[in-house]
Structure 1
Amino acid sequence: MTAAPEAAPGAGPPAAAPSLLSINNIEVIYDEVILVLRGLSLEVPKGQIVALLGSNGAGKSTTLKAASGLLPSEQGEVTSGSISFAGEDITKMDAPERVKRGLSLCMEGRHVFPHLTVSDNLLAGGYTKAKEAGETLDFVYEFFPKLADMRARTAGFLSGGEQQMLAIGRALMSQPTLLMLDEPSLGLAPLLVEEIFATIAKLNADTGLTVLVIEQNARTALSVAHHGYIMEQGRIMLEDEADALADNPDVKEFYLGVGGDAGKRSYRDVKHYRRRKRWL
């Protein structure tokens, strides 16, 4: 990729990348009573990888479902706030229209079609770009050579890592400008996790693809991300550049498992101290 030109003396810092996805102070309720997201806001700049981190139940998957338009299928709805993509308000837009505009979600748990071949799984993901499916298939096979080698195999017989590659490849078949990934490391061995995230980083570096990834594996996610957010109980509690988050002592202690003296204190006490000191 071409290096960015240096700023002229006295010109100030370079302008920030424009946001491709903007989630603005949204609340999400399930079954008309269960409040999950509580005034959540985040920005995903064009051409960057953004990591959304947090524990189970923090609301990470709900955030992606809100952005992708899948909430109605689970009796959920955005009750306030707004979501915009490429400058267009998509808060009330249905999921297929969002796909056509360039959003693609790779859901947690892979969800491949087990009785179809690898090739047919990929083609199913490209239904909105059917005329260009052959070219896009070649693109996917370039980034996932293993899929090319097993294109005729039945997806249900693939390993977990191979199915995850297939699920990401299928999401790429719609030629997204924003790829959203829900826990891509779930259930995978460490070496496979490294391979998956290396491919995500390469996609971003080589094509400029914007990525929003939610993860519990904070160390790996922050190693490839440009910016990061940390969620707790439906709210963003902390955000910063990825390198700064990785160096933050609280993040190290609670999400990376290093630093601090957590062994001398209970988790409850440390968590209370952490919130009082930094996030409240």
Structure 2
Amino acid sequence: MLTINNLEVIYNEVILVLRGLSLVVPEGAIVALLGSNGAGKSTTLKAVSGLLPTEQGEVTDGSVSFDGRDITRVDAADRVRLGISLCMEGRHIFEHLTVHENLIAGAYIHGRAPQEDLDLVYEYFPLLSDLRARTAGFLSGGEQQMLAIGRALMAKPKLLMLDEPSLGLAPKLVQEIFGYIARLNAELGTTVLVVEQNATRALEVAHHGYVMEQGRLVLDGPAAELRDNPDVKEFYLGLGEGGTRKSYREVKHYKRRKRWL
């Protein structure tokens, strides 16, 4: 469904963030994009959604294809019409609107909000149904994240992209949010690309995973294999030998893999 080929992104005409990034998101799959702060994960989602120009960023090389079509230069609104929805980091709901009004706004690109679409969101997030008249700015962090996902679903996406959905949430809520993601994929067939620092939760629901460092991919494979990979355990799951975390320089295997960076 989504193919990123040799993508290069520059901010302010000088800051190179993505360095020849290539990845594939198959239709009907959940793909996790992992990495530390500054690795380029959010920039990847903005390149796919067409939001780079709002932050003085631009694609200078490579391509982005969605559903067999090159969308590298397509306007962001047109990408939403094609079936791409992004839940940005920090949720970015309309705080002054009610929960119900937020959901209606999510369907704006299609001209109206069919009742069956609203009913579907309330079915998946019954708490939002109870809070439909509540001003969104007064919701808890977990409720706002549910609302952000629900609003994205109102656009009827083929590809749902989530940027740090666990950010600022308690562990129990994180588990709930990823449970919703897995259910949407299994029951609706929604293709999902999720960017996460919580590698444990992301790899539990993902089918495939990629690990980014400094704007490039250093690892990828089936989620189960990444969970068992010693480097991923060491640096992203906190499961190093003896229960202690080492520096990158002390792990020769990791250094060999990163030498070309």
TM tier, shorter chain?
Answer: over 0.9
Structure 1 stretch displaced more, 123-132 or 142-151: 123-132
Match of 2:247 in 1: 267
Match of 1:256 in 2: 237
Secondary structure of the 1:256 match is coil
Secondary structure of the 1:175 match is coil
C-alpha displacement at 1:279, in angstroms? 7.3
Match of 1:7 in 2: none
C-alpha displacement at 1:135, in angstroms? 1.6
C-alpha distance in 1 between matches for 2:259 and 2:67: 30
CA RMSD after TM alignment: 1.5
- Give, as a single letter, the amino acid of the residue that structure 1 aligns with 2:240: G
Pick the aligned partner of 1:164 from 145, 149, 156. 145
C-alpha displacement at 1:270, in angstroms? 2.7
TM-score scaled by length of structure 1: 0.90
Secondary structure of the 2:72 match is coil
1:8-157 matches, cutoff 5 A = 20-157=1-138
C-alpha distance in 2 between matches for 1:55 and 1:162: 26
- Give, as a single letter, the amino acid of the residue that structure 2 aligns with 1:67: V
C-alpha distance in 2 between matches for 1:175 and 1:278: 39
C-alpha distance in 2 between matches for 1:205 and 1:270: 41
1:101-250 matches, cutoff 5 A = 101-250=82-231
Structure-2 change in CA distance of 1:173 and 1:237 (3 Å): same
Secondary structure of the 2:114 match is helix
- Give, as a single letter, the amino acid of the residue that structure 2 aligns with 1:213: V
Looking at CA atoms only, which structure, 1 or 2, has the larger radius of gyration?
A: 1
C-alpha displacement at 1:275, in angstroms? 2.5
Where does the alignment leave 5 or more consecutive residues of structure 2 unmatched? none
Could you tell me whether the CA contact under 8 Å between 1:253 and 1:262 is conserved in 2?
no
- Give, as a single letter, the amino acid of the residue that structure 1 aligns with 2:78: E
C-alpha distance in 2 between matches for 1:124 and 1:56: 31
Secondary structure of the 1:230 match is strand
Could you tell me whether the CA contact under 8 Å between 2:104 and 2:113 is conserved in 1?
no
Match of 1:276 in 2: 256
Where does the alignment leave 5 or more consecutive residues of structure 1 unmatched? 1-19
C-alpha displacement at 1:253, in angstroms? 1.0
C-alpha displacement at 1:193, in angstroms? 0.3
Match of 1:8 in 2: none
C-alpha displacement at 1:145, in angstroms? 0.5
Could you tell me whether the CA contact under 8 Å between 2:13 and 2:57 is conserved in 1?
yes
Question: Between the two proteins, what is the percent identity of the paired residues?
Answer: 68
Could you tell me whether the CA contact under 8 Å between 1:59 and 1:231 is conserved in 2?
yes
C-alpha displacement at 1:276, in angstroms? 1.2
- Give, as a single letter, the amino acid of the residue that structure 1 aligns with 2:211: I
C-alpha displacement at 1:277, in angstroms? 5.6
C-alpha displacement at 1:175, in angstroms? 0.2
Match of 1:9 in 2: none
